[in-house]
Structure 1
Amino acid sequence: MIDLLELKKIGVQFGDKQVLKDISIKFQPGEIIGLVAPNGTGKSTLMNVIMNYLPPNQGKVILNHELQYSSKANEVKIHQDVSMMPDQSDLYNHVSGKNHLKIYQEMWNSDPKLIDDTIVKLGMESYVKKKTGTYSLGMRQRLCFAMQIVSNTQVMLMDEVMNGLDPTHVELISQILLQKKAEGKTIIIASHLLENLEQYADRIFFMKNGELKLVDDVSPGFSDNKVTTVRVSNFSQELLIVFKEQFPELAVQTLPNGKTLIDVKEQDTITLGAITQYLIAQRLTDFSFGKLTLNDLYSLEYQQS
């Protein structure tokens, strides 16, 4: 059983641009990690470093406390336990989906029963024997995910796993990810579907300026299910100025989508009642109490970028 995957002081530089900066982190068995950032900020680069597709300028990838990419033989050993979900461009259009799965099962010497089991779980029976050149975008994406599952490695890397999938299949794959987590797999996912990622990821990191920032460090208490925020629609600048004068102790931020967030996590019920009365008096009836969402934090973190 693999204990963990560790990155130690990983740095990657392209010309004058520092893409990854001194990243050190440990990924545990039975853990789903979410990576969140705009395109071009290093998510794919980090995954390519973990796979040794891109050797870093500095630092080490360490598996099970000792195994490193120090030789070709070690790379083969690591890739027996660490795999990356194939891209749709990796599919052979003249080969059937089932034969793609057989290729992956044989490459990783996994249980052949996983092939039919995965086909059934993903609802691929009606088309899996057809050539992949006939597949839709969603069918191709399901096949790529199925290939990753059939490899059955201890560590699985997935870049935009939900790309092109309808809500039903997004939910289906989410359930399979949770099942793999329960089996003790380490799963690292880069995704733009933040609401979905928030439902199943154990730790979520923003990538910014070449660094990983844990969401709970960006917003302490983010993972707690407590009321922390009032979300208000159509808050005009004039009313916002008056509000800030009346409640100077409250942090207020307006997102690019026009929603205004009022931070109330340290406030008592008297203050919450006063805020409610103010909003109703100003006819701002489209508001709700809740917690910050991952989408909110993403907007706040990157709106100045």
Structure 2
Amino acid sequence: MIELKNIGVRFSERDILKDISVMFHPGEIIGLVAPNGTGKSTLMNVIMNYVNPNKGKVILNDRLEYTNKKNEVKIHQLVSMMPDQSDLYDQISGTEHLKIFSSMWKSDATLIESTIKELGMDSYVNKRTGTYSLGMRQRLCFAMQIVSNTQVMLMDEVMNGLDPTHVELISQILVKKKSEGKTIIVASHLLENLEKYADRIYFMIDGQLMLINDGLKEREITTVRVIGMTDDLKEKFSNEFTETNVQTLPNGIVLIDVRGYDSKKLGDIVEFLKVNQVTEFSFGKVTLNDLYSMHYQEG
């Protein structure tokens, strides 16, 4: 378990992180979502003690804190961050990179071969990394994180440069690691993918964490998504369905909140749309992309 307690970071008279207090538990995948420059990388760097907060502290397993160098070494035996592609050495092979990470964290050496096989890296892993494509390098960075086998794993844009097949593969491995009791914190812009496997998803808003996925995993219909609804028609709809919340996204899509509606009320809304010659609509739920648009994109 890792706890952030009243974390605050201030750069150049600007608050990057403001009094963040949250706990991340074993067997949990946490998603962090925000545009660049809004604090997610800073938050990860605070967890690693690469950035010293102006206030607050990081606590691991209820007892370890970054109070001295000895404790930092102990924490870094249990908490790791996925390396960046710029951290790779072009003159040595992928296998050598994996051996270095396995040795640094004193993990089970058999993880190297099993990870290579699981990620489909056999055909190139013994070649110099300077010959790798962007996707190959990204898979190697992910593999290095996996062979470290730490209790807490931090990953910033883990899916960067990967094709859909490997995005799905790495997603499956993350879920597997979660089942082993790992705490995994992932910053990602692939929102649909993140929504599939993350237990909790936070937006970074004004230097604070906002939990936003409470209702994302609901099975029942919560929303009618409408394309091509004019302002006049929205006003007409609101006059007819006075207790129904209607929200327009910056991309012009209209979301009609129908949580708790029975089949008759849903039928009335469908009939209204058809009578007013609106044909592009669908039933479902609010997505992570919708929420991102609401919070971060200007109309």
Structure 1 length-normalised TM: 0.95
The Cα shift of 1:304 comes to: 4.5
Q: 2:108, 2:27 → 1: CA distance? A: 20
Q: Distance in 1 between matches of 2:155 and 2:107?
A: 19
1:227 and 1:195 map into 2 onto residues whose CA distance is 18
**Paired position in structure 2 for 1:275:** 269
Partners of 2:216 and 2:125 in 1: CA distance = 41
Q: Could you tell me which amino acid in structure 2 is paired with residue 247 of structure 1?
A: F
Q: Using the alignment, how far apart are the partners of 1:171 and 1:139 within structure 2? A: 15
Helix, strand or coil for the counterpart of 1:83? strand
Q: Given the alignment, which residue of 15, 18, 38 partners 1:18?
A: 15
Displacement of 1:272: 1.1
Match of 1:57 in 2: 54
**Where does residue 234 of structure 1 map in the other structure?**
228
Report the Cα distance in structure 2 between the residues aligned to 1:234 and 1:134, rounded to whole angstroms. 49
Q: How far apart, in 1, do the equivalents of 2:189 and 2:242 lie?
A: 35
How far residue 82 of structure 1 moved from its aligned partner, in angstroms, is 0.0
Aligned to 1:252: 246
Given candidates 12, 15, 27, the residue that maps to 2:24 is: 27
**Unaligned residue ranges in structure 1 (runs of 5+):** none
Specify the code of the residue in structure 2 equivalent to 1:128: V
Which amino acid is the alignment partner of residue 85 of structure 1? M
Residue 211 of structure 1 pairs with residue 208 of structure 2: yes
Deviation (angstroms), 1:269: 2.4
CA distance in 1, matches of 2:127, 2:116: 13
Distance 1:134 1:234 in 2: 49
Q: How many residues end up aligned between the 2 structures?
A: 299
**Match among 163, 179, 182 for residue 179 of structure 2:** 182
Q: How does 1:47-196 map to 2 (within 5 A)?
A: 47-196=44-193
Preserved contact between residue 34 and residue 40 of structure 2 (Cα < 8 Å): yes
Give deviations 1:9-38, integer Å, cap 9, x for gaps.
100001221110001111100000001111
TM-score (structure 2 length as normaliser) = 0.97
In 2: Cα distance, 1:111 partner to 1:293 partner: 40
Take 2:47 and 2:127, find their aligned partners in 1: how far apart are those partners?
Answer: 33
Q: Residue by residue, what CA displacement relative to the aligned partner does 1:200-234 show, whole Å, maximum 9, x if unpaired?
A: 10111111011111114xxx533322211000111
Gaps of 5+ in 2: none
CA displacement, residues 174-222 of structure 1 (integer Å, 9 cap, x when unaligned): 0000000000000000000011001110111111011111114xxx533
Specify the SS of the correspondent of 2:7. strand
